[in-house]
Amino acid sequence: MFSTITRMIRYYTSGMHAFAMSRSRGWPLLVLLAAPSPFPNPAWADGRTVSVGVYENAPKVFTSDAGKPSGIFIDIIEQIARAEGWHLRYVPGTWAEGLERARKGEIDLMPDVAYTAEREKIYAFHKIPVLSVWSQVYARKGSGIQSILDLHGKRIAALENSLQLQTFTRLTNSFGLKFTLIPVPDYKTEFEMVATGKADAGLTNRLYGLMHARKAGLEDTPVMFDPAPFFFAAPRNAPGQLPEIIDRHLAQMKKDPRSAYYAAMKRWTSEEVEFRLPAWLQIFGFILGGVLLMSLGGSFILKHQVNARTRELQLVNREMERRIDDRTLTLQETNARLLTALEALAGATEHAEAADRIKSAFLATMSHELRTPLNSIIGFTGILLQGLSGPLNEEQAKQLTMVKGSASHLLSLINDILDISKIEAGQLELVPEPFDLRESIHKVAQSIRPLVESKGLTLSVQVAPDVGTIVSDVRRVEQILLNLLSNAVKFTDHGEISVRCVREAGHYVTSVTDTGIGIREEDLERLFLPFRQIDAGLSRKYEGTGLGLSICKKMIELVGGSIWVESRVNSGSTFSFSLPLERGST
């Protein structure tokens, strides 16, 4: 394909070459003839009819597909006719017919006639050639004709009675070559004969060859000869000075690169050459064009689809972005709220912790500040009662005993309040250690015995043989038992108080039973709530903060046990608590 293109370019440049030659040849004449122009038009010229012969030798002169005479010579003569006001009448025919008509004066002008001295005798020629064209040998593709010598013995078609043929004959004769001449009326016939194999080669001018060879399936050979100038030929001695008028116009036209002359040359040479693409190239071009169109169309459709998809995707994308933005916003808001909440929580926690610290400090201070004066009261009362400061009389001893009792009661109240406060502040820490529960029970019972007996009550302690060591906080366990026993003594006026302890599935269950006033069923539920000493009426009779049982319950829970009560009004109550053998075993 590359070589074909190169070849095409060669055709083109060859054409230009011919054209350039024609121009260069025209310039000297131009200088001579430019001066007298413009000539005044003769009066008789107006409305004059000029008959022009037409034969088929495209692109110089030919009949177009539409039946209209066309070509370089036609364009030029029509330009001149327009300028001169001529009316042109075309007379179609063969080359030979045209020459004959011009000779006889039947037509005014015959285009495309090469100047020869011989013709000069018959025709009148103008001076400035319309164009110069080389003659060239054309053959079928792959003919192998590379030089004039290859034409020896070949059948060669040529336009009859043409200068070209004469020159070629002279040329071949000088090389001593022989060939068989096949005379043809026109180049079209000639090319057909070469193409169909009736002739081996054909002679034509380059312009025609460039335009028609490829279409006919022929190619140019390197054999070129006799560049000849071509003119319009007029009948000799005809009136009207047609050659002079043509020369004048040609001189003018050749001076101006934008003139009709150059336009014609360009139109019928370069353009035609360029236009005359080989059939296969045209087909290829069509296919390529088709493919291009299809791919263009395809790509358009594809692009359309892609655009549509892109738009869809963009929509989806925008939707996604919108959603993400929404979510992000929501998340940010949630986050902000969370942060605010966390800050508030942190603040609250800090506040609570600060409050806790203040509470703890307050408890410690209160403990100290309340106990210090009590220390004096209890201490000095005790010293006096012991007689360490001297003997007391009976009344003094009785009164001091009352002071001591009140002080002890005040101390127990303070202790209760401190205990419940410590429990609620989480300040009550346990010290689990192994100890003998049996021993502890007896110890606590012994400590309460004087009080029991002072009320005329009896106290019995029954600890099962399998009760022994337990891991718990001994102080708290003893405190719980003492509290229950104190309550029993407080609410019992006659009868007995008994303490029992048995071992049950991982627990020791300790019970304190009294024969006291008992508790109504409706009061049992709130028995263990803080500050809930049942029956306001009783509170005067039975002193206490009402904290004892709630402290017991909380402590029991802290050591991993539980507490419960069974009671009947006026029959007595049984308070029981269980303790895991080892703390945390439940």
Partner 1 sequence: MKQKILYIEDNEQNLYLVTFILEKGGYEVCAARDGREGIDLAAAVKPDLILLDIQLPLMDGYTVARQLRSNPELAEIPIVALTSYAMAGDREKAIAAGCNGYIEKPINPDTFMQQVELHLPGREG
Q: Which helix (H) or strand (E) holds 334?
A: helix 279-386
445 binds partner 1 (CB under 8 A): no
428 binds partner 1 (CB under 8 A): yes
Tokens of 50: 């000029």
Judged by CB under 8 A, the residue of 101, 140, 422, 507 near partner 1 is: 422
- Site stretch for partner 1 (CB under 8 A), options 141-149, 154-162, 394-402, 410-418: 410-418
Strands 155-159 and 201-205: parallel
Figure out which of the listed residues 382, 405, 434, 506 binds partner 1, where binding follows CB under 8 A. Answer: 382
Taking the complex as a whole, the smallest distance from the CB of residue 559 to partner 1 amounts, in Å, to 14
375 near partner 1, rule: CB under 8 A: yes
- Among 1, 66, 117, 431, contact with partner 1 (rule: CB under 8 A): 431
Pair 188, 208: CB distance under 8 Å: no
What is residue 380's three-state secondary structure?
helix
Shortest CB 372 distance to partner 1, Å: 6
Q: Which of 238, 263, 277, 378 binds partner 1 (CB under 8 A)?
A: 378
- β partners of residue 113: 231
- Residue 417 touching partner 1 (CB under 8 A): no
Contact call for residue 415 and partner 1 (CB under 8 A): yes
Which residue of 394, 429, 466, 522 would you call a contact of partner 1, by CB under 8 A? 429
C-alpha angle 131/137/139, rounded to 5°? 135
Q: Is 161 left (phi over 0), alpha (psi -120 to 50) or beta?
A: left
Stretch that binds partner 1, among 265-273, 325-333, 362-370, 435-443 (CB under 8 A): 362-370
Q: Does 383 bind partner 1 (CB under 8 A)?
A: yes
Nearer to partner 1, 486 or 574 (CB): 486
Nearer to partner 1, 49 or 447 (CB): 447
Query: Which residues fall within 8 angstroms of residue 245, CB to CB, at 6 or more apart?
Result: 39, 45, 80, 84
* Per CB under 8 A, 367 contacts partner 1: yes
Taking Cα atoms as reference points, which of 143, 180, 207 lies closest to residue 12? Answer: 207
Query: In whole angstroms, how far apart are CA 260 and each of 13, 14, 257, 272, 565?
Result: 21, 22, 9, 16, 134
How far apart CA 205 and CA 140 sit, in angstroms, is 16
372 binds partner 1 (CB under 8 A): yes
Q: How far apart are the first and last CA of the chain?
A: 100
- 10 Å CB burial of residue 573 (0-12, 13-18, 19+) is buried
Q: Does 524 bind partner 1 (CB under 8 A)?
A: no
Question: Is 427 near partner 1 (CB under 8 A)?
Answer: yes
DSSP conformational letter for 528: G
Q: How far is the CB of 381 from partner 1 (least distance, A)?
A: 8
Alpha helix ranges (H) inside 205-278: 206-216, 242-255, 260-265, 271-275
3-state secondary structure of 310: helix
CB-wise, 85 or 405, nearer to partner 1?
405
What does the chain come to in residues?
586
Nearest distance from C-beta of residue 370 to partner 1, angstroms: 8
Report DSSP letters for 429-472, one per residue.
----EEEEHHHHHHHHHHHHHHHHHHTT-EEEEEE-TT--EEEE
Q: Does 360 bind partner 1 (CB under 8 A)?
A: yes
Q: How far is the CB of 481 from partner 1 (least distance, A)?
A: 19
Q: If you search the block for the tokens 């410690």, which residue do you land on?
A: 364
At its nearest, how many Å lie between partner 1 and the CB of residue 354?
Answer: 18
| Window of 265-273, 310-318, 414-422, 512-520 that interacts with partner 1 by CB under 8 A | 414-422
The residues of the shown chain that bind partner 1, judged by CB under 8 A, are: 360, 363-364, 367-368, 371-372, 374-383, 385-386, 388, 411, 415, 418, 422, 427-429, 431
